[in-house]
Structure 1
Amino acid sequence: MGHSHSHKHSHNNGNLQGRNLLISIFLNILITAAQVVGGVISGSLALLSDALHNFSDVISLVVSYVANKLAKKKASLQKTFGYKRAEILAAFINASTLIIVAVLLIIEAIKRFQDPQEIESGLVIWLSGIAILGNGFSVLLLKKDSEANMNLKSAYLHLLTDMMASVAVLIGGLLMKFYNVFWVDSVLTFLIAIYLIWMGYDLLKSSTKVLMLFTPEDIPIDKIVTEINNLEGIKHTHHIHVWQLNEEEIHFEAHIDFENNIQLSEFDDILHKIEEILFHKFEINHVNIQPEFGKCDDKDIIVQD
């Protein structure tokens, strides 16, 4: 059986990622505490909802930080893949909490809309402004790493949506202060929640596909089979599995039926050609091939194991 690793290593500095996450955790703890106190004093549901979202940010950032550390642990006899799935699992958890928090906010917003209450708008304005600055700084810290890491993207989305929510709360505070439109607090809370669901759904879907070992959407299995079958000496490529282990590894596994009973050295040459095709054309960096000759088995591309 041919087996090859050709991993692409991330250019991100793991220690820098961890430091940025810790800074963001600390900032969000301070923001959450201030908004809870301010929300209770002012009576603003939007401010309390923003505090609840900030608290979910703290949890998501802690989960992301732990997953980031676990992902660096080495494999062992008991954990042959190590903790490489930790960050994908963290992304799934964070996306789920984002949607759950949003549903709770919608329920509360509807209740408050039916019974609007007078709100201390001055406190709302000041605290939402502080939250915008704190979350904005955290967003800038994580933006670059979020582009190549699903786990950090989940943390980044939490922070970005909370910054947007704080902007909405600030606008609501200004409307309440100058126009006494108190029902806007509930409307803004509802809109914030809808935005959270919209942002969280895509990440939840993506992380679920990885956890379920679905074929990555940009991997055309039919084209891969054609490319491999065009190599000299290969008769069939079948029994294929393609899955994404984490942000950096895509695995390919297949049985290849050869036209002749070739030597092992010849197989190694062909295996190298297959690896080059898969890596350079399809960005697959972990290849596992089972060579066969004259074997009577299912030759379908996808075989139900």
Structure 2
Amino acid sequence: MTHNHSNSSNKIGWAFLLNFSFTIIEFIGGWLTNSTAIMADAVHDLGDSISIGSAWCLNKLGEREADENFTYGYKRLSLLGAFINGAVLILGSIWVLSEAIPRVLDPVVPNTEGMILLAILGVAVNGFAVYKLQGGNTLNERVLNWHLLEDVLGWVAVLIIAIVMQFVDWPILDPLLSIGFTLFILFNVIRNLLATLKLFLQGVPEKNLYKQVLDELRSVDRVEYIHDLKIWSLDGE
């Protein structure tokens, strides 16, 4: 069990180092190529880096048992990480939209050669990170694997747009892609943030779960009456 936990932490650690290092390159590359699409991808990858970093720390903190100060244990730290991650992504997305929307009205030609090089590098780095997390047993690894697969698809989209702009004078494609990608990020972030707030408020984690548990308890022999059923989750798992 200890070996599996250590192996999981090592895999997540590798994914974090790869993702965070490349996120820095993305922001620099987005500024140099004058591409809001790359900046949007950089914001998304920054959020993933925070998620992966949080998961890495939480994987290690997960070894700690409940104590006299935290009698429920430390699982709720993951909710705090999710909340911080959501706040960072929302602020970053607002910034990207403030840059991209004016460019729809007044398109600026980005450096498509630089975009293509960054997109190829993005597919390679995120693809390798997916490979490192492949076959993971923990929920953290599986969820992060999906995040990184989304990143690969995002970079494939940037690559396609950059190649098209190499042959066609359509600079508006860059801000349109960044707006579309950013709205997709915001939709998912706000949905996850609302779910996180619901857990903070001790809400029932899943729709219809209360009725399902109630029906299950009523079906037990000799159970005549159920009073004041409480259902909550520490971390949504």
| TM-score with structure 2 setting the length | 0.83
Q: CA deviation at 1:85?
A: 1.6
Counterpart of 1:118, as a letter, is V
Counterpart of 1:175, as a letter, is V
1:101-180 matches, within 5 Å, as 101-142=92-133, 145=136, 148-149=139-140, 153=143, 155-156=144-145, 158-180=147-169
Paired residues of 1:98 and 1:158 also in contact (CA < 8 A): no
- Is 1:14 aligned to residue 5 of structure 2? yes
- Within 2, Cα distance between the matches of 1:126 and 1:100? 27
Give the structure with the higher percent strand.
1
Q: CA deviation at 1:97?
A: 3.3
Q: CA deviation at 1:44?
A: 1.6
Structure 1 residue aligned with 2:42, among 51, 56, 63?
51
| Matched position secondary structure for 2:139 | coil
Structure 2 residue aligned with 1:213, among 202, 213, 216?
202
Paired residues of 1:72 and 1:83 also in contact (CA < 8 A): no
Counterpart of 1:240, as a letter, is L
Paired residues of 1:24 and 1:61 also in contact (CA < 8 A): yes
- Percent identity, aligned pairs only, is 28
Deviations 1:74-115 (A, max 9, x none): 111111122122223323433443344333322221022222
- Within 2, Cα distance between the matches of 1:224 and 1:128? 51
| TM-score with structure 1 setting the length | 0.66
Q: Which structure 1 segments of 5+ residues have no match?
A: 1-9, 249-305
Closer/same/farther in 2, CA of residues 26 and 47 from structure 1, 3 Å limit: same
Closer/same/farther in 2, CA of residues 97 and 148 from structure 1, 3 Å limit: same
| Matched position secondary structure for 1:83 | coil
Deviations 1:261-281 (A, max 9, x none): xxxxxxxxxxxxxxxxxxxxx
- Within 2, Cα distance between the matches of 1:156 and 1:91? 16
Give the structure with the higher percent helix.
2
- Within 1, Cα distance between the matches of 2:187 and 2:34? 27
| Matched position secondary structure for 1:236 | coil
Closer/same/farther in 2, CA of residues 146 and 157 from structure 1, 3 Å limit: farther
Closer/same/farther in 2, CA of residues 36 and 191 from structure 1, 3 Å limit: same
The residue that corresponds to 1:227 in the other structure is: 219
Q: CA deviation at 1:212?
A: 2.3
| Matched position secondary structure for 1:107 | helix
Closer/same/farther in 2, CA of residues 167 and 147 from structure 1, 3 Å limit: farther
Looking at both structures, which has the greater relative contact order when contacts are Cα pairs under 8 Å and sequence separation is at least 6? 2
Paired residues of 2:36 and 2:178 also in contact (CA < 8 A): yes
- Within 1, Cα distance between the matches of 2:197 and 2:93? 19
Closer/same/farther in 2, CA of residues 21 and 83 from structure 1, 3 Å limit: same
- Is 1:81 aligned to residue 72 of structure 2? yes
Counterpart of 2:219, as a letter, is E
| Matched position secondary structure for 1:89 | helix
| Matched position secondary structure for 2:109 | coil
RMSD: 2.9
Structure 2 residue aligned with 1:192, among 144, 157, 181?
181
The residue that corresponds to 1:71 in the other structure is: 62
> Computing the radius of gyration over CA atoms, which structure comes out larger, 1 or 2?
1
Between the two proteins, the alignment pairs up a number of residues equal to 234
Closer/same/farther in 2, CA of residues 157 and 125 from structure 1, 3 Å limit: same
The residue that corresponds to 1:60 in the other structure is: 51
Counterpart of 2:172, as a letter, is W
- Within 1, Cα distance between the matches of 2:131 and 2:89? 20
| Matched position secondary structure for 1:177 | helix
The residue that corresponds to 1:264 in the other structure is: none
